[in-house]
Structures are given as C-alpha cells and as structure tokens.
C-alpha cells in the first residue's frame, strides 16, 4: 500500500482545522436554510386554511421535509468538502472512509425524529381551545357554519404559521447544534483515518 505523503497529510489536517473553525457559521447557515424550507412548506400546505381533523398530514409533511432538507443542506455544505479531500489523495493511497463515514453519521442523526416532539407541541399550542371547538360544532345553520368554517380555517392557519415563525429561534438553535456536532465528528473521523494512513502498518 502506498504511504500518504507528509505534505498532503499536513495539508489535509489543516483543511480539517479550517472546517472546524467554520463549524459554527456553517451550522447556522444549514439551520437557516433548512428552516426556510419548512416555513415555505407550511405556507403552501396551509394556503387554503387548516382543518384540525385533517392536520396530522401537515405535521407529518413538515417532519419529513425537515429531515430531507437538513440532509440536503448538510450534503451541500459539508459532504462536498469531505469528498474533495478524499479526491486529493494520490493513486495507490487507500482513501479514508470519508464519504461513507460522513453520510453514515448524517443518516444516524435522524433530525426529524429528534424534533418530532417539538413539532407536535407546536401544533398542540396552535389548536383552538376545547370550548371554541365545541362552539363551532354546535352551529346549526349550514350556510352560516360553512361561512365561519372557512374563516376559522384561515384564522387557524394564520395562527399556526405565526407560531412556527415565532419558534424559529428554538428550532434553528437545535438544528445548528446538531449540524455542529456532525461537523466535529466527521472531522475527527477523517483525521483519525489519515493518521492510520501515516502509521507504519499503512506503509
């Protein structure tokens, strides 16, 4: 097996250090871009209002989109960095398991499951009170009920969207923390693999 050249070894470690230094800012970008997509998704899903007996699919869609967009933004901002590092290795050098390692770590995070309870709580806070729901159900006049049902649906949708906007700092903080952890773990894993390539047994 061809040994890893010392200058390349040092250069790659330096690039990993640079990535660690950028971790906080990159994590914030990932969090903001992920949450932007969640807000846009909710706006589309609630364009015609919210009917609470059918709202579970909205919550499920947001949870699914959250995981997908987080993975996508991490792949864009981070995955390419590790792939580029691996591509710099000369022929005959066994590449660190960077791509597999990064993506395995990313997949293992399961961000949408981590934040599922927070999303559920947000939806619960957004629902009208029990007496309001009972009052709506007791309206006998069909025409009047239909008119108010549409108004209530749009009013409830506006409240849900506003609660989601207000929750942005809390959610983006959690997303940013998860992204930061991913960066540090991925850098550590790649660096350890590089050191193995410099060990006598790798020569």
Domain ranges of the chain: 6-196
Among 36, 3, 26, 30, which residue's Cα sits nearest to residue 164? 36
pLDDT greater than 90 at residue 92 = no
46 Cβ neighbours under 8 A, 6+ residues apart: 58, 157, 160, 161
Among 96, 55, 50, 118, which residue's Cα sits nearest to residue 190? 96
3 or 168, which is more confident? 168
pTM, entire model: 0.86
Residue 56 structure tokens: 């579970």
pLDDT greater than 60 at residue 1 = no
pLDDT greater than 60 at residue 128 = yes
Other C-beta atoms closer than 10 Å to the C-beta of 130 total: 8
65 with 41: CB under 8 angstroms?
A: yes
Average pLDDT over residues 69-84: 95
Distance in angstroms (rounded) separating the CA atoms of residues 29 and 32: 5
For 160, half-sphere exposure in the C-beta direction (CA atoms, 13 angstrom radius) is 32
> 31-35, 80-84, 139-143, 192-196 — which is least confidently predicted?
139-143
Number of separate helices (H) and strands (E) present in the chain? 10, 0
Instruction: Note the pLDDT of residue 27.
Output: 98
pLDDT-derived band at 199 (thresholds 50, 70, 90) equals low
């Amino acid at each position: 097996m061809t040994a890893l050249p010392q200058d390349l070894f040092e250069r790659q470690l330096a690039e990993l250090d640079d990535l660690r230094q950028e971790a906080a800012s990159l994590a914030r970008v990932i969090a903001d871009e992920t949450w932007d997509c969640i807000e846009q998704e909710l706006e589309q899903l609630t364009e015609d209002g919210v009917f609470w007996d059918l709202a579970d699919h909205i919550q499920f869609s947001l949870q699914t989109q959250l995981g997908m967009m987080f993975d996508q933004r991490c792949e864009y901002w981070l995955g390419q960095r590790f792939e580029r590092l691996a591509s710099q290795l000369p022929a005959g050098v066994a590449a660190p398991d960077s791509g597999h390692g990064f993506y395995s770590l990313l997949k293992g995070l399961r961000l949408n499951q981590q934040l599922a309870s927070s999303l559920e709580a947000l939806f619960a806070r957004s629902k009208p009170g029990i007496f309001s729901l009972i009052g709506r159900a007791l309206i006998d006049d069909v025409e009047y009920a239909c008119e108010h049902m549409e108004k209530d649906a749009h009013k409830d949708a506006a409240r849900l969207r506003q609660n989601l906007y207000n929750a942005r700092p809390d959610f983006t903080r959690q997303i940013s923390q998860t992204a930061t952890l991913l960066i540090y773990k991925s850098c550590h894993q790649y660096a350890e693999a590089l050191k193995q390539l410099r060990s006598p047994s790798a020569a």
